[in-house]
């Protein structure tokens, strides 16, 4: 994320010489926008005030800034500032008024799908001329991100006993999201084991080929999304051991009624929603229980300890493909 | 005269020479083409339902083309057989056919030509919402002779293809999966128009059926009339099949919010309609 931090710091430097351009950090769920904002706050500790919205904001007081607020304001999870319903945009109007009338520089984070929706409806990009879209992680970055929590050689990478020798050619299943079909499919592709070949040709002892395969599978399945990658790692890890075969590949064949799909699109766009918030937005308490039950049984969402519903990380790419098929997210 | 008699006799001889085998073959070719056309339609329709809205439109686009290709191949085979049988008398047969088309089946022929024009010129496609003649509905099939529509009341209407030559066709979506829907609401003249417009806008943009993009914006219009105010929202429904659900959804949620904000519908007394008690007296 070095480039993104550089871009944000350049905008902060411009602000210090009188050029105020608000910043929007945009990313899909579990992509690390809060981490990036935390890093920006750490770098600019003396001149920045950070505010995090952890659920939908209903009270205008929550967005009013105290007198001791510093010149740079960091607002995390700004997708919680609107409710997708009639009469649900009052806080959002206040927010737009605040950022356009104050002298402070606003650095905000947004869920990608909420941003796209709000941008089409309210032209949000006019208020945030600098938009930083968090890119997907590279394979090596994912490896570092996952292994940084463990000591050196704490994790043991191993293969099945009957497959001690690495195969010269093996089949890798490439996940492909087809929004036209509304699902993620796995395409088997034969792959040449280049590290193995190198080791054989150079008469070296094989070193990291199993580890490489573990992270290759994680990288392909997660599409470089760190949150999804971590979840796949946790599901495959039999501490302290892990093997490539334990890294799961997930493809959900989603079949939902339109109202259920709409609720799923809300959960995707807000990242975390309580049942009451869903009821409020769809305007029906009767349908919510049935809908949530359907989404839970299809293993598309889960309920966290705080009572919020979230999209399952391993189902994220399937859900996005399905939502794009229905054009419930843009 | 003698020549005419000879030609007629030769034609009659040719007709007599047609064996049952050839007739059955021709009938079978036509039947196979018809069945194949139906199968292709069913399979492609099923496939299109599995795809995204834009994919659905693209697949439905090729259904009439495939059907016409099948029929043209079948007709080519049948005409070849006829040519083999009649040879030089074909011109005489064509004359007779021409006369019969001119007098008896000219409408059927016009329908067939209309079908070809619809398939290749595409004034509308399968999946479009069109107004054709006195009918409005979704195009479900474009055949050789007629176009099938399903009206909002779920009536299946068969419209002859030749109508496109003398009726104007209005297509609501022209091959796109989204379609503009115009929603009118009427409120009392003394209402707070600004608040009403804001509520209507929020109801539209938060609807589960709406589709918004740079090219498909939401437009709100307001017109003050002598006794009431008309609010008009122009927005695109995500899937044209949800046209009426979208309209109903926006109406319902807007009026709920109007009531909360004291925005009322036009009052009847301004139209000089006497109260109900007076009418009963």
Residue A268 confidence (pLDDT)? 97
Residue B121 confidence (pLDDT)? 83
The whole-angstrom distance between B242's CA and the closest CA on chain A is: 11
The answer to whether the peptide bond before residue A24 is cis (omega within 30 degrees of 0) is no
- Identify which of A88, A120, A330 has the shortest CB distance to residue B206: A88
Flag whether residue B215 sits within 8 Å of chain A, measured between CB atoms: no
Reported as a pLDDT band with limits 50, 70 and 90, residue A190 is: confident
Q: Options 3.40.50, 1.10.1060, 3.90.1570, 1.10.287; which CATH number does B8-119 get?
A: 1.10.287
φ, ψ of residue B183 to 5 degrees: the values are -115, 120
Contacts of A323 in chain B (CB under 8 A): none
**Pairing between β-strand A301-303 and β-strand A309-311 as defined by DSSP bridges:** antiparallel
- CATH number for the domain running over B179-261: 3.30.70.100
What is the model's pTM? Answer: 0.79
Residues A32 and A94 in one domain: yes
Count of structural domains within chain A: 3
Specify whether the CB–CB gap between B61 and B48 falls below 8 A: no
Q: How many CA atoms does the CB half-sphere of A317 hold within 13 Å?
A: 23
**Pairing between β-strand A48-52 and β-strand A23-27 as defined by DSSP bridges:** unpaired
Cβ contact B202–A87 (<8 Å): yes
Cα–Cα distance, A252 to A315 (Å, whole number): 7
Flag whether residue A180 sits within 8 Å of chain B, measured between CB atoms: yes
- Non-local (6+) Cβ contacts of B188 within 8 A are B228, B229, B263, B264, B265, B266, B267
Reported as a pLDDT band with limits 50, 70 and 90, residue B265 is: very high
Tens digits of residue pLDDT in A118-140: 999 999 999 999 999 999 999 99
Residues A129 and A177 in one domain: no
Instruction: Say which CATH number the domain at A310 has.
Output: 1.10.10.10
Q: Is the pLDDT of residue B234 over 50?
A: yes
Q: Is the pLDDT of residue A96 over 90?
A: yes
Q: Which of A56, A86, A126, A282 to mutate to test the interface with B (most CBs of B within 10 A)?
A: A86
Tens digits of residue pLDDT in B119-175: 888 888 888 889 887 888 999 888 888 899 999 888 999 999 888 888 888 888 777
Instruction: Say which CATH number the domain at A117 has.
Output: 3.40.50.300
Residues A8 and A128 in one domain: yes
- Identify which of A88, A181, A330 has the shortest CB distance to residue B51: A181
User: Other CB atoms closer than 10 Å to residue B266's CB: what's the count?
Assistant: 17
The whole-angstrom distance between B53's CA and the closest CA on chain A is: 7
Residues A77 and A191 in one domain: no
Residues A187 and A128 in one domain: no
Domain that holds residue A199: 169-203
Cβ contact B214–A120 (<8 Å): yes
Reported as a pLDDT band with limits 50, 70 and 90, residue B4 is: low
Q: Is the pLDDT of residue B221 over 90?
A: yes
Q: Which of B208, B236, B258, B263 to mutate to test the interface with A (most CBs of A within 10 A)?
A: B208
Q: Is the pLDDT of residue A304 over 90?
A: yes
Q: Provide the edge-to-edge strand list for the sheet that holds A48-52.
A: A48-52, A72-76, A105-111, A23-27, A130-133
Reported as a pLDDT band with limits 50, 70 and 90, residue B281 is: very low
- DSSP code per residue over A263-318: HHHHHHHHS-B-HHHHHHHHT-SHHHHHHHHHHHHTTSEEE-TTS-EEE-GGGHHH
Distance in Å from the first CA to the final CA of chain B: 88
- CATH number for the domain running over B128-171: 2.30.30.60
Tens digits of residue pLDDT in A258-289: 999 999 999 999 999 999 999 999 987 778 99
Cα–Cα distance, A322 to A295 (Å, whole number): 13
Contacts of B208 in chain A (CB under 8 A): 258-259, 262, 282, 328
Cβ contact B202–A283 (<8 Å): no
**Pairing between β-strand B179-188 and β-strand B228-237 as defined by DSSP bridges:** antiparallel
Closest residue in chain A to residue B254, using alpha carbons only:
A86
Q: Is the pLDDT of residue B260 over 90?
A: yes
Specify whether the CB–CB gap between B216 and B279 falls below 8 A: no
Q: B75 vs A101, A259, B24, B68, CA distance in Å?
A: 73, 48, 15, 10
Q: Where in chain B is the domain with CATH 2.30.30.60?
A: 128-171
Q: Where in chain B is the domain with CATH 1.10.287?
A: 8-119
Residue B273 confidence (pLDDT)? 59
Q: What is the mean pLDDT of chain B?
A: 83
Tens digits of residue pLDDT in A223-247: 999 999 999 999 999 888 898 888 8
Residue A205 confidence (pLDDT)? 56
- Of A196-205, A295-304, B110-119, B223-232, where does mean pLDDT reach its minimum? A196-205
- Identify which of B52, B208, B253 has the shortest CB distance to residue A179: B52
**Closest C-alpha among B189, B201, B130 to residue B161:** B130
**Closest C-alpha among A156, A102, A162, A148 to residue A127:** A102
Q: Reduced to 3 states, what is the DSSP secondary structure of residue A175? A: strand
Q: What is the mean pLDDT of chain A?
A: 89
Contacts of B231 in chain A (CB under 8 A): none
Residues A8 and A91 in one domain: yes
Tens digits of residue pLDDT in A66-76: 888 999 999 99
Q: Reduced to 3 states, what is the DSSP secondary structure of residue B13? A: helix
Contacts of B203 in chain A (CB under 8 A): 86
The whole-angstrom distance between A311's CA and the closest CA on chain B is: 19
Residue A166 confidence (pLDDT)? 56
Q: Reduced to 3 states, what is the DSSP secondary structure of residue B69? A: helix
Q: Where in chain B is the domain with CATH 3.30.70.100?
A: 179-261
Cβ contact A121–B203 (<8 Å): no
């Amino acid at each position: 994320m070095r480039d993104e931090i550089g871009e944000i710091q350049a905008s902060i430097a411009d602000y210090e010489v009188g050029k105020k351009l608000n910043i929007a950090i945009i990313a899909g769920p579990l992509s690390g926008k809060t981490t990036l904002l935390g890093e920006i706050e750490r770098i600019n500790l003396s001149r920045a005030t950070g505010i995090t919205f952890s659920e939908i904001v209903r009270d205008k007081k929550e967005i009013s800034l105290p007198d001791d607020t510093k010149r740079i304001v960091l607002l995390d999870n700004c997708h919680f500032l609107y409710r997708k319903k009639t009469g649900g945009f009052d806080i959002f109007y206040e927010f737009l008024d605040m950022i356009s009338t104050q002298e402070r520089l606003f650095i905000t984070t947004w869920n990608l799908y909420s941003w796209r929706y709000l941008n089409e409806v309210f032209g949000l990009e006019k208020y945030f001329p600098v938009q930083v879209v968090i890119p997907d992680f590279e394979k090596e970055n994912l490896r570092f991100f996952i292994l940084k929590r463990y000591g050196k050689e704490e994790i043991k990478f191993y293969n099945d006993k009957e497959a001690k020798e690495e195969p010269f050619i093996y089949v890798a299943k490439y996940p492909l999201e087809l929004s036209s079909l509304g699902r993620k499919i796995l395409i088997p592709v034969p792959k040449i084991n280049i590290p193995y070949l190198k080791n054989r040709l150079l008469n070296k002892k094989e070193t990291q080929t199993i580890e490489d395969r573990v992270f290759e599978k994680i990288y392909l399945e997660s599409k470089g999304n760190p949150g999804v990658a971590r979840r796949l790692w946790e599901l495959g890890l039999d501490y302290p051991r892990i093997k490539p075969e334990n890294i799961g590949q997930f493809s959900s064949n989603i079949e939902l009624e339109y109202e259920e799909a709409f609720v799923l699109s809300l959960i995707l766009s807000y990242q975390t929603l309580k049942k009451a918030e869903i009821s409020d937005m769809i305007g029906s308490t009767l349908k919510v229980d049935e809908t949530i039950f359907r989404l839970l049984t299809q293993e598309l969402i889960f309920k966290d300890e705080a009572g919020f519903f979230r999209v399952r990380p391993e189902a994220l790419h399937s859900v996005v493909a399905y939502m794009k098929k229905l054009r419930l997210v843009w | 005269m003698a020549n005419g008699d000879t030609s007629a006799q030769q034609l009659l001889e040719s007709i007599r020479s047609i064996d049952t085998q050839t007739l059955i073959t021709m009938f079978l070719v036509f039947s196979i083409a018809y069945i194949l056309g139906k199968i292709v339609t069913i399979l492609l329709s099923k496939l299109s339902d599995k795809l995204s809205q834009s994919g659905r439109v693209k697949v439905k686009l090729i259904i009439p083309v495939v059907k016409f290709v099948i029929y043209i191949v079948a007709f080519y085979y049948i005409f070849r057989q006829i040519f083999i049988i009649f040879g030089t008398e074909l011109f005489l047969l064509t004359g007779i056919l021409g006369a019969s088309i001119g007098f008896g089946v000219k409408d059927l022929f016009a329908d067939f030509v209309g079908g070809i024009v619809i398939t290749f010129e595409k004034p509308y496609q399968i999946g479009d919402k069109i107004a054709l003649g006195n009918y409005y509905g979704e195009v479900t099939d474009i055949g050789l002779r007629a176009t099938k529509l399903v009206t909002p009341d779920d009536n299946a209407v068969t419209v002859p293809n030749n109508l496109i030559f003398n009726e104007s066709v209005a297509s609501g979506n022209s091959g796109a999966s989204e379609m503009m829907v115009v929603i009118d609401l009427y409120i009392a003249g003394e209402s707070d128009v600004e608040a009403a417009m804001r509520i209507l806008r929020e109801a539209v943009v938060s609807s589960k059926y709406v589709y918004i993009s740079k090219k498909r914006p939401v437009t709100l219009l307001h017109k003050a009339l002598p006794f009431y105010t008309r609010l008009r929202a122009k927005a695109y429904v995500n899937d044209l099949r949800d046209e009426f659900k979208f309209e109903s959804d926006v109406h319902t949620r807007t009026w709920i919010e109007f009531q909360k904000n004291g925005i009322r519908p036009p009052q009847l007394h301004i139209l000089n309609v006497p109260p109900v008690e007076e009418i009963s007296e």
